[in-house]
Structures are given as C-alpha cells and as structure tokens.
Structure 1
Amino acid sequence: MRSFRRLTPVVAASLLLAGGLAGCGDDDKAAAGKSGLERNGQITVASLPLVDGAALYIAQKQKLFEAEGLKVKIQPVQQSIAAMPALQKGSVDVIAGANYVTFLAANDAGTLKLKILNEGATLTSNMMNVVVPAKSPIKEPKDLEGKTVAVNIPNNIQSLTLNAVLKAKNVDPTKVKYKAVPFPQMATALQKGDIDSAHMVEPFLSAAQKNLGARVVVDGGSDPVKDMPISGYVSTDAFTTKYPKLAAAFQRVMFKAQAQAAGDRKKVEEVLPGYAKITPDVASVITLPGYPTSNNETRLNRIVDLMEANKLLKQKPDLKTLIFTPQS
C-alpha cells in the first residue's frame, strides 16, 4: 500500500475549504462564564454527514451541551481531512467522525499533535459495503480485480479495512483501483458509470440500495475487521492543554450521547434526516455502527496494528498520551 504521505497534496488542496470554517475564535483573554469553563464554553466542531457522528446531534437535540455550559457550533464538512488545516490552526476545535488513519498518520508525521477526546464508531457488518449497479457484471469479490472502487479518501480507513477483507476472500488488493469520490457523490458516479463500484458507508449505502437498486458484493464490516474502531472525536494537544475544562466538559457530554446512541436506535433515526440529508424511511433501515461509550486503549490498538502492518506508521504511538484524560 502506498504511504499516507502521498496524501499531502490533498491536504494542501483542502486549505481553501478548511480556511472557510469559521470557529468561535481563540481569544486567550476571554473570561470564563458562569459554568467556569474557559472561553465562556464556546467550542466549534467540524462534522461529517455520516452515521458515525449521530451522537453529536443527539447531544445537541437533547440539550446535553447546554447542561454542561457548552455553546457548540457545528460546521458541516464532507471529508475530515478537509478540516485538518482548520484544526491545526485552531479555527476548529474538534472534528467529529474523524477517521483514525488520517489523524494517527498526521500525528506520526509530526504535522499534528493529536488528542482523541472520544471514540465515535466501530465497524459493524454491512455498515460499510462495496456496492455495484444492479446489472453490473461484478458478482463476487474476485471480480473487483482490475476494477475501480470509489472511496472517500484513498490510502485511508476504507481501503485499509477493505484490503484486509479482500485478502481474507483470496482477492489481490493491489489489483483494485481505488478512486477518490466524496461520499455524497458516490451514488451519482455509480449511476453514470464513472466508477465500477463504490465502497459506501451509511447512510449513503442504504440510500443507494433503495434509490438505485445497488447490489452488495463485499461486506466491508466482516472479519477480520469486524468491530474495529474507525472514527472518533479528535482535537489537538494544544487545545486540550489550553482549555482542559472545556475539553473535559465536551468529553463528558459525548460519553452520555454515545450511550444514548448505543442504547436507543430511535434517537439516532431522529437526528439523521437533519444532518445526513436522508429520508426518515431510509434512516429507519440503515445499519448502525457500534457506538463506544468509553475510550479503550486495547480497542484502539487494533487500528494502530493494522496501520503498522501496512507500513503507514514510522513508530507505534503511545495511546495513553493520545487519549485525553481530564486531570482530577
């Protein structure tokens, strides 16, 4: 697999988008509000339109942020990598639904001092599948050799996990041609024939199956990657060091919201149409990821080990230092 470092031009190209992400500022002199939080409780979160980040919107809907004195501004983005420059310069404080491969690799390269506030999602069966048009000649995983597969970002969490699944099915991943297509555009690209197949994640997966009759050829959440952590709520060491109370309050809220997402599917279904732009009937049938309700170093090590096996890391990170733990 090609090195993550080849993604650098993509990051550079995203600066225009990321530069437009308006944060709530980084005013060192801002007085603490009644809640006792730094910066009067203001925090800006960049969020993807994925089912991974449902807990963020549950917290907003249930007024969990307000209960902790937080004033959260949510800024939608199509790719977590597009928000990275804004996170680096502090105009965005947190990225929701951030895929771990991008941010662990950036931390490894020294371009970002990462802090993981909360785990967001783990991979479940049929949550992130490879689909083809109904009349496609592609019938089984082996047929993907020599064909194009759309992914949101090449050489990242999707191709990394899919390659592991394909190997387990006796498919040569080096013969698969990955093509970058943003999630919201995959269905159209598939319909036009610009790509042979698409590695789609929910909620786009179920929408494509319902609206286009797209057919699944690979369950991207099957062994050996089932239950693997795929995304989370990430920030920077600079933010958590400077605003530890703010970071801790956000973390507390998200633990509560993750528990609601994990324990009550209806709460996820209620928020999806608003931010993911899908209909309620699609929201009711999509496959949900796992929603971790705590941070677990052993669990996160699974994605680290997979990255190491594919030579995407120069050295294994110390997860104890990367996971944000509030000081008592």
Structure 2
Amino acid sequence: MKKIIRNIGTAALILALAVGSTACGTKDGTDPASSGAGQTQYKYGKIDIPGKDGALCAAPIYIAYEKGFFAEEGFDVNLISADSETRKVGLNNGTIPLVNGDFQFFPSIEEGVKVKVVDGLHNGCIKIVVPEGSPIKTVADLKGKKIGVDEIGGTPFQVASVWLENAGIVAKDNKDVTFVPYTDGNLEIEAAEKGEIDAAAIWDPFGSLAVKNKNFSVIFDLSTDPLFAGKYCCFLYASEKVLNEKPDEVAALLRAVNKAQEWIHDNPADAVSIISDKKYSNITDKALAEELVKSYAYPSHQDHQQGNVHVKEDVLYFVKELQKIGYLKTDNPEQFASQVYQEIKK
C-alpha cells in the first residue's frame, strides 16, 4: 500500500530505515530488448511510469525495472517523479499508462478521473502508533483524541476513519476525533512525542521505526486488523484512455509487474538489497525492511496462476466501507465497484 503522495523529510535519513526520493539505478544484466549492433528495439516504445517516490511498498515497480521485466514485455521505461495531481492528469490524458495507488483514488474516480483498477499490488503498510507511556490501548480510547495523518482525505485518514466508524466513533467532520495533518512523517512522530497529538496514523516505515527506536506501541496494523487483513490496500491503476486504445500494452505492463511481485515473494532479502543498492530507498536496516516487505504479502506465481488475487472483491469491500462512512457519494456500491474495476486478460 504507497501512497500517492509521501512527503519524506530529511530527518528520515538519520533513522535506521528511511525512505527518500532518489535517482534510479540501471537495469541488471543483458537487456532482453537488444537486437545487436548496439541497437535496442521495444515493441511498445518508451513510456513514463511514476517510480521515484522512494516508497518501500512500491518495490514491484523498482524490481520490474531493475530485473528487466518491463523490457522483456516490450517497454523502454522511464521512471519519473509524480505527485498525485500529476498522476491524475497523466492517467486522464494517457501520458502515464499505469500507476500504483490505494483506495484514496476511489473518490477521485467518483469525481471524474478516468482510471480503472486493473490489479492488486500488496497488503497493508499503515499503522496507528502511540508514544511510550500512552494510556491509549484500543480504538475506544481514541474518542475525543487527536490523530495525526499525512493529509486530510489521504489513505491513513481513510483507514483510520473506517476503523473508528466501525467501532462506533464518528470520524467524519472531526465529530468524535480530531485529525491533524503533517506533511512529514518524522514531524508527525515528533508531535506524538510532544503530546501535540495522541496517536499517529502513518505509513511505513515511520510507524515501524517509532516502535523500534522510540518505544512507541502499535494499536492498529493494516496488515493484521480483522477489517483489513488479507485484503489489498494498494492497487494498480491504468489510464482508461490507454485501456481503450491500447489494451495489449496494459496487459503487457501487468505481466511485467506480476513477474516482479512473484520475484519479490520468492526473494525478499534480494529485493531489499537491490532497492537499497540502487538508492530507490535509503535503507540502513535491511532486516527491518525485509520484514516489512514480507508483511505486504506480494502475490506468488501460484497465486497468479490459480487466480488467488481477489482484486474485484477487495475493490467492492472498500467501496462499501467508504460509502458507509460518507466518503463516497454513490448510493449503489456494487455498480460503482463495477465501474472502478476492469479485469484484464494477461
């Protein structure tokens, strides 16, 4: 599960595991698209894909690039930096064919952004943590408290809202809790330490680092909580324009990412080493990074072969949850979920 926007502060670099936006490395080994005499030909030519946000959970994009899976499928990929608005514009006009994102995109689709969920990426990568000594132990203890998030309307905000509302705590319009946005995960953790907020709903690795280095406690884990466990938090979104005009290209891109997911599933330690060595993320604690990558439950080859990826079901589940708490306006979740998801024959 990244995230469309992950604002990473420079202070993260001094932590045991931090994530920062960095330049990308080059592909390992022989380019399968090479055709001799120094010439390289790609069936689908050059494309831009967002892949410089430094997020650990975006590992399949990095690995598909580094292991040559994009090239094998006929693409000369240029990894770019792109915030959420850049991604929406690119998806709408077809200049960006594919992005990784989470159910934060669902309201954007309802508002007219022309994209489709075409596959699942991974499971949970968000935690809610409280500082050492906090009396907060359960969701009920959060009533009347302040919760830090990266942005109002973002995925940690939505995840926390779903969790709270299912426990009878009204999150909408700050009725029973108050959400406080922080543009940097380190600042959010510092605010919790200072008592400016009572809990931090936050992306990995910040929550895991706070637990390991600052004795914070986890009161919610997206990967294990019963409301979310075993479900995709992050999906792959394709441009509707590209889907309509070049469906074979989208299928080829999905094959490349699926290969990367399977490779990460089988080689989590090697994946972390590549991501670290190639400076996609600034990782100094590889053991923790490997633990996090494993927790994301990237699909295996067997999962893909047997169809054990439950993307359509997860889309409907989260559409219903977001509609139930008023974050989606639709009065027909099943119809909207059918609009959001499109199965691609790979």
Determine if the TM-score, normalized by the shorter chain, exceeds 0.5. yes
Residue 44 of structure 1: aligned partner: 49
Residue 283 (structure 1) shift: 1.0
SS in 1 for 2:291: coil
Percent identity of paired positions between Structure 1 and Structure 2: 20
Residue 201 (structure 1) shift: 2.6
Query: Unpaired runs of 5+ in structure 2?
Result: 6-39
Maintained 8 Å contact 1:248/1:326: yes
| Alignment deviations for residues 52-100 of structure 1 (CA, whole Å, 9 cap, x no partner) | 32111121221111212212222245x646633443345533322x112
TM-score (norm. length: structure 1): 0.74
Residue 98 of structure 2: aligned partner: 94
**C-alpha distance in structure 2 between counterparts of 1:183 and 1:262, whole Å:** 30
Query: Unpaired runs of 5+ in structure 1?
Result: 1-10, 12-32
Structure 1 residues 271-280 or 230-239, which shifts more? 271-280
RMSD: 3.1
Residue 202 of structure 1: aligned partner: 204
- How does 1:176-325 map onto structure 2 within 5 Å? 176-182=177-183, 184-185=185-186, 186-220=188-222, 221-273=224-276, 274-279=279-284, 280-286=286-292, 288-292=295-299, 293=304, 294=309, 296-311=311-326, 312-314=328-330, 315-316=332-333, 317=335, 319=337, 322-325=340-343
Residue 162 (structure 1) shift: 2.6
Pick aligned residue for 2:64 from 48, 59, 62:
59
Matched, 1:146 2:147: no
How many residues align? The count is 288
Maintained 8 Å contact 2:148/2:197: yes
**C-alpha distance in structure 1 between counterparts of 2:106 and 2:162, whole Å:** 19
Residue 169 (structure 1) shift: 5.0
**C-alpha distance in structure 1 between counterparts of 2:141 and 2:207, whole Å:** 20
Alignment CA distance shift 1:89-1:35 (3 Å): closer
**C-alpha distance in structure 2 between counterparts of 1:104 and 1:171, whole Å:** 23
Amino acid corresponding to residue 298 of structure 2 in structure 1: Y
TM-score (norm. length: structure 2): 0.71
Alignment CA distance shift 1:326-1:200 (3 Å): closer
Maintained 8 Å contact 2:130/2:217: yes
Residue 222 (structure 1) shift: 0.7
**C-alpha distance in structure 1 between counterparts of 2:183 and 2:266, whole Å:** 30
**C-alpha distance in structure 1 between counterparts of 2:136 and 2:315, whole Å:** 34
Residue 108 (structure 1) shift: 1.6
**C-alpha distance in structure 1 between counterparts of 2:84 and 2:295, whole Å:** 20
**C-alpha distance in structure 1 between counterparts of 2:81 and 2:193, whole Å:** 25
SS in 2 for 1:69: coil
